[in-house]
A and B are shown apart, each in its own frame.
Chain A
Amino acid sequence: MQSGIKGNLTINGYGSSNGGHFEKVKLNGRGTLNGNIECVRFECNGSGTVHGHLKMQNAKISGSGKVKGAVEGNDFAIEGNGSVSDSVSLTNKMKISGSGKIGGSLKADEIKINGKVTIANDCEAETFKADGQFTIGGLLSADQIDIRLHGESSVTEMGGQSIKVKGKKGRFYHLFKAFFPVKLTVKLIEGDDLELESTKADVVRGNNVTIGPDCEIDLVEYQGTLHQDDNAKVREIKKI
């Protein structure tokens, strides 16, 4: 059931173990860990569950992985299907390709999303890059926010220095727009430089604001410059 040299934990096939301190933890097949894990490297290939907190330097979930607690570490990659019941706090990079679900908040230096993500609370990073679909229940705050939309995404609030939201380009998508709405729904966007496309917002506040095509915004407040696309609906504009 359980093999490996001292300090390493490997589960190949079907098995379970208790938590503890390890050098390397590798779950191949169907592994269950009951308890908190602390390790340098965590790898989950196949289907793995950790019933506890995971503290590591480097973690990768390929396949399907669940952590029923909080995750703390340097780097974390979810390739495939990963879920964390509590918060994730990283000192370096979070990469989600595939589908990710985080039950608390997400903090990292750099966040890169390709695919689909749900974050229940706040999401904080220095750079946030998304090429896909996401739902964030709280505040998305980052110095650089770079979003390319696919389908429908939503955030309660966005704040940062430079915020760019791009919709999908191309005639093909215009044709299917009615079936596949490409839209970002957000209550409040605040930042220094804003470039928005396909965004539905209650309030947009910034210094230099560009409202691109397909935007629906109730109120825009700006200090510096404002550009507005002919294809954008803005109900009220205020220069402060």
Chain B
Amino acid sequence: MSNELISKKDLLDLAGISYGQLYRWKRKNLIPEEWFVRKSTFTGQETFFPKDKVLERIDKIQSMKETLSLDELAERFSPSVKTETKITKDELLQRNIVSKAVLDLYLNENGNIEQFRFDELLEVFILDKLLTSGDISLDEGKMLLQVLKEARGSLSKSKYELLFIRKLGVTSCLLLSGAESIMVDQRSKVTVRLSVTSCVEELKTNL
């Protein structure tokens, strides 16, 4: 992801929105506070935004605001989760949120679950995502579940990133919070880098 910044003025121009809208969205937490980057320029302090992220978000808001209220949108974008979300095993399959094979694997590891809470859902969802894309192997999937289990409860509260590093065929799975960039030695390879926050967002859209 590029770290290019866009000034507030250019952003409004490019997205075709007004100051009023931008501030309203900010108030409703549709655009997270940390995306407002303050920088000093020759005319004084100006606000900049991470270009890709903010444009994508504005695009989403604009396409969804016809059908959803701003509060509903805020709920969808917020990393925190309604804890009462529950969904049954069958519903998961019917609605094509995860595949049968992955669900079986998950249930094998965790025992039978009829009603999925959100954090459990998130775990299956991430597992499904990585397994079906072929990024990780079955054994690595088990490792992933272990790591996710450790962080259960706090996973959707903080901004986590999931990392798989492989060296000489041995894999490590890491969960990072708040790391902008990481360095690994030459022989190690980062095979997967996944933002948990965007997974939460994606899962919410699917529910």
Interface residues of A (CB under 8 A from B): 107, 124-126, 141-143, 159-162, 187-188, 190-192, 202-203, 205-207, 219, 221, 240
A203/B19 in contact, CB under 8 A: no
Closest to B33 in A: A122
Most buried by A among B8, B22, B27: B27
Q: How many residues of B contact A (CB 8 A)?
A: 14
Q: A190 near B27 (CB under 8 angstroms)?
A: no
A160 touches B20 (CB 8 A): yes
| Closest residue of B by beta carbon distance from A156 | B45
Given contacts A141-B26, A141-B27, contact A187 B20 (CB under 8 A): no
User: Which of B8, B19, B45 contacts A160, CB < 8 Å?
Assistant: B19
Given known A-B contacts A124-B27, A141-B26, A206 and B19 have beta carbons under 8 A apart: yes
B43 → chain A closest CB, angstroms: 6
Interface residue from A160, A202, A203, A206 paired with B23 (Cβ < 8 Å): A160
B44 contacts A203, CB within 8 Å?
yes
Q: Shortest beta-carbon distance, B8 to chain A, in Å?
A: 8
Task: Kindly list 14 other residue pairs between chains A and B, CB separation below 8 angstroms, not including A160-B19, A161-B21, A190-B23.
Answer: A124-B27, A141-B23, A141-B27, A143-B24, A162-B20, A187-B45, A188-B44, A190-B8, A192-B20, A202-B44, A203-B43, A203-B44, A207-B18, A221-B9
- Measured CB to CB, the closest approach of chain A to B26, in angstroms, equals 7
Inter-subunit contact B19/A192 (CB<8 Å)? yes
Decide: A159 near B19, CB < 8 A? Known: A141-B26, A143-B24, A205-B9: yes
